[in-house]
Every structure is written in structure tokens, then in C-alpha cells.
Structure 1
Amino acid sequence: MASDNLTTLRFNFDMDAVKAAGLTTDELLAPMREYAQEKGISEPESGFFTLPTDRNSYCKITKWILYYIDEQPKFLSFFNSIISTINDEVEDCLPDLKEM
């Protein structure tokens, strides 16, 4: 899906880890979806979130992710990557999130 100049966040799952834990991707995305709905963030595809264009939206979502992984430390083990795209700059946030 093309996303010219949109701020996006894509969660790419490690399906072996998800299945081994007896979970589904929908279960893992449920808290994110709830938060996204409250903040006007859309999910045009499963695990692919598009944020409003203001910078505050990106700051809020990353702050929420940091809070959530503090509460649920195993959360990050279910992903191969978490790809952030801002103004066509692409970055895998997962390594940095794991270091925090």
C-alpha cells in the first residue's frame, strides 16, 4: 500500500512466536486498535496504522507504545519489525524499542 507523505506504523509479526504463545494477531493488536480509535488513527490493513499528519500524533502513539511495553514486556517478542514511516523516511523501530 502506497502511503506518500503519510506517517505510518506497520507491525510485522513473528508468526511462530505468536502461535507458540497461543495468541492471535488480533489479540495482540487489540490494545493498539483501542488506543488508535480513541486518537483518530486509522488501520486500513491489519497491523498497518496511518496517523494524522500532525507531529503530536506520532509522539502520542510512540509514548503509548513505550507505556504498553513497560506494562507488557513480552509484547515486542511477537514482532519481526515495527516499521515507522515519516515523510517517506522508513525506520525499523523494533531494535531501539528492545533497548529501552
Structure 2
Amino acid sequence: MPFEDKSFRNRKVLQLDHRPPNVPMGDQRFRELMNEIGAAFAQADDGDEKRRQARERESQREQWLAQREAVIVEIVTTMRQHGLSIDDLT
């Protein structure tokens, strides 16, 4: 490995070790950040509307599963009436 490659690698490691000093946050900036976080959470929590939408989706899913089961039963019944099996379909 050429010398300059090692030198570059060492400089890169040294640069990673130099972190900015930990400066405490001022009270004003802390309040600003907390207000921004609060506003973000308030927007994200639609509460009752989100729960209503979730219940509606769950109800639609249950209806879809019931329809799916009914169709499967109908197919199996029709196949039996005509004396068909799965092997006949392949």
C-alpha cells in the first residue's frame, strides 16, 4: 500500500475522533423544540377519526372474509353436485 494511502486513512480516523464539544441547549431553544414536538404529535393523533377508520376497515375485512368463505362453500357444493374433484380441475 503506498504511503499516501496510509496517511489519508490516518487523517480520516483523526477527523472522526474530533467531535464538536457538547454545548448545553438554552432554555428558549428547548421550549421551541418541545413546542414543535407537541405540534407534530397533535397533528399525528387524529384520535376518534383514526379509530373510526380502523373499525371500518376491520368491518370491511370481516365482510370480505365472510363473502370469501361463502364463495368457497358454493364452489365446493357445485363441484359435489357435478361429481367433480380437485383432480378434475388440473
Q: Do these two structures clear the TM 0.5 threshold for a shared fold by scoring above it?
A: no
Higher helix share: 2
TM range (shorter): under 0.3
Higher relative contact order (CA 8 A, sep 6+): 1
**Greater strand share, structure number:** 1
The normalised TM-score by structure 1 is: 0.21
- Highest CA radius of gyration, 1 or 2? 2
The alignment's TM-score, normalised by the length of structure 2, stands at 0.23
